[in-house]
Amino acid sequence: MRSLPLDTCVLRPHIQPPPRSLSSFSPRTSLLTSSTSNNRFSSASAATFHRNASLQIFNERISVWNRNPLLCSKTKRIDVGLLVPPLQCGSSSDTNGVQSERSLMQWIELIGEALSTAFPVWVALGCLLGLLRPAYYDWVQPRWTVLGLTVTMLGMGMTLTLDDLRGALAMPKELISGFLLQYSVMPISGYVVSKLLNLPSYYAAGLILVGCCPGGTASNIVTYIARGNVALSVLMTAMSTVAAVIMTPFLTAKLAGQFVAVDAAGLLRSTLQIVLLPVLAGAFLNQYFHGLVRFVSPLMPPIAVGTVAVLCGNAIAQSSSAILTSGMQVLLAASLLHMSGFFFGYVLARMLSIDISYLYLDYNSCF
């Protein structure tokens, strides 16, 4: 017997419409219908109840369709829970309260999603403000920078579970590929761009140094917004940051001809404080205190986006005079460096047969 396609079952199911009397289907609906006839519910509640009861009947008949092997042998089963809401009954005030609470959370999530999606816009506005009005960032202190980054990574950790982190650790191919691409594509791109634009030696050294630095916190936020593997991104950030103790001085000396000393103890301490510990704490909270995280998590992406925008603007404000003096040359060089990182990182990762959802979006932050 030929199986029916899924859309036929969903859009044109062979189900007769429910009759006007719901009591003929089951004792449960009969009992509930009789209670409504005794004026236990208001007219609005009765209408809501009858609608939900009809959906419950449709739910039961779809379940019968799912259990029929002749119909479902070659077609996808229907997840009824995703199609219709469960049966609800009770006072109209309680129902309205639940719906109001859900709509408020949905609005918060919608606003947070919109703000997070516009992440490049907020960063660009923050940098523009720092370039034109650097005095507006005088209030930003180093301790606020550390606190903001810690809160940002805590929010990223709340989107993960401990199982996600363990799963990312079980991806040696992706971790090693990302590490090698980080310390090959970006340094070489910085060197090539500096030669193509014939940058002065001090600008060339700075551009190569940026390419030799590990990815920052912003890369995890961009990965989250792009629906990438956040756990993998966090682990790769930690790996590249720890390896920067050796890789950054070595690559800078080879490509720029200058040795850059790195405070190994300070770098490891900041990695633990800003990246690893907040992410582990957020994943722990999400694993064992999911109710609290569910209430707080919609607020974290906008906070993270705002924090990174302020920190980027502050970095631009501290060098605004030098940026304005250099003109478009530095802006063009930095843009080409990051465009090269995005392009070659994507192409080479696909050539290595890495799934697109695992791609690590490198964004070398300027702080």
Q: Tell me the per-residue pLDDT of 318-360, one tens digit each, with 9 for 90 and over.
A: 888 888 887 788 889 999 999 999 899 889 988 988 876 555 4
pLDDT at 55: 62
Residues 65 and 144 occupy one common structural domain: no
Residues contacting 328, CB < 8 A, separation 6+: none
Residues 75 and 124 occupy one common structural domain: no
Note whether 279 and 160 are within 8 A (CB).
yes
Mean pLDDT to the nearest integer, 62-72:
51
Residues contacting 8, CB < 8 A, separation 6+: none
Q: Tell me the per-residue pLDDT of 252-296, one tens digit each, with 9 for 90 and over.
A: 888 887 767 777 788 888 888 888 899 999 999 988 888 888 888
Report the distance separating Cα 242 and Cα 253, nearest Å. 18
pLDDT at 300: 80
DSSP code of residue 22: G
Residues 213 and 287 occupy one common structural domain: yes
Report the distance separating Cα 176 and Cα 92, nearest Å. 57
pLDDT at 193: 94
Confidence at 16, pLDDT banded by 50, 70, 90: very low
| CB-count burial class (<10 Å; 0-12, 13-18, 19+) for 74 | exposed
Residues 226 and 86 occupy one common structural domain: no
101: in domain: no
Mean pLDDT to the nearest integer, 108-124:
82
Question: Residue 125 pLDDT more than 90?
Answer: yes
Domain count, the chain: 2
107: in domain: no
pLDDT at 45: 55
Mean pLDDT to the nearest integer, 67-96:
45
Confidence at 89, pLDDT banded by 50, 70, 90: very low
Confidence at 102, pLDDT banded by 50, 70, 90: low
Question: Residue 364 pLDDT more than 60?
Answer: no
Residues 134 and 78 occupy one common structural domain: no
**Range list of β-strands (E), 14-86:** none
Note whether 162 and 284 are within 8 A (CB).
yes
Place of tokens 């990574």: 153
Question: At 247, which CATH number?
Answer: 1.20.1530.20
Mean pLDDT to the nearest integer, 8-25:
43
Residues 136 and 52 occupy one common structural domain: no
What's the domain range around 138?
118-358
DSSP code of residue 297: G
DSSP code of residue 26: -
Confidence at 69, pLDDT banded by 50, 70, 90: very low
pLDDT at 34: 45
Percent of the chain with pLDDT over 90: 13
253: in domain: yes
- The Cα-based distances of 250 to 264, 269, 328, 362 in angstroms read 14, 21, 30, 20
305: in domain: yes
Residues 332 and 220 occupy one common structural domain: yes
310: in domain: yes
15: in domain: yes
Q: Tell me the per-residue pLDDT of 187-200, one tens digit each, with 9 for 90 and over.
A: 999 999 999 999 88
260: in domain: yes
Report the distance separating Cα 350 and Cα 347, nearest Å. 5
Report the distance separating Cα 306 and Cα 192, nearest Å. 33
Residues 143 and 13 occupy one common structural domain: no
282: in domain: yes
Higher pLDDT, 197 or 304: 197
Percent of the chain with pLDDT over 70: 68
pLDDT at 77: 46
**Range list of β-strands (E), 1-91:** none
Residues 86 and 196 occupy one common structural domain: no
Place of tokens 């964004």: 363
Question: Residue 128 pLDDT more than 90?
Answer: yes
Question: Residue 251 pLDDT more than 80?
Answer: yes
pLDDT at 63: 59
Note whether 234 and 362 are within 8 A (CB).
no
pLDDT at 64: 53
Residues 199 and 251 occupy one common structural domain: yes
Residues 75 and 195 occupy one common structural domain: no
pTM, two decimal places: 0.63
For the chain, what is the radius of gyration of the CA atoms?
28
Residues 195 and 262 occupy one common structural domain: yes
pLDDT at 226: 78
Confidence at 148, pLDDT banded by 50, 70, 90: confident
Q: Tell me the per-residue pLDDT of 24-41, one tens digit each, with 9 for 90 and over.
A: 444 444 444 444 444 444
Q: Tell me the per-residue pLDDT of 156-215, one tens digit each, with 9 for 90 and over.
A: 888 888 888 888 888 889 899 989 999 999 999 999 999 999 988 888 888 999 999 887
Mean pLDDT to the nearest integer, 110-132:
86
Q: Which range has the worst mean pLDDT, 44-48, 222-226, 229-233, 298-302? A: 44-48
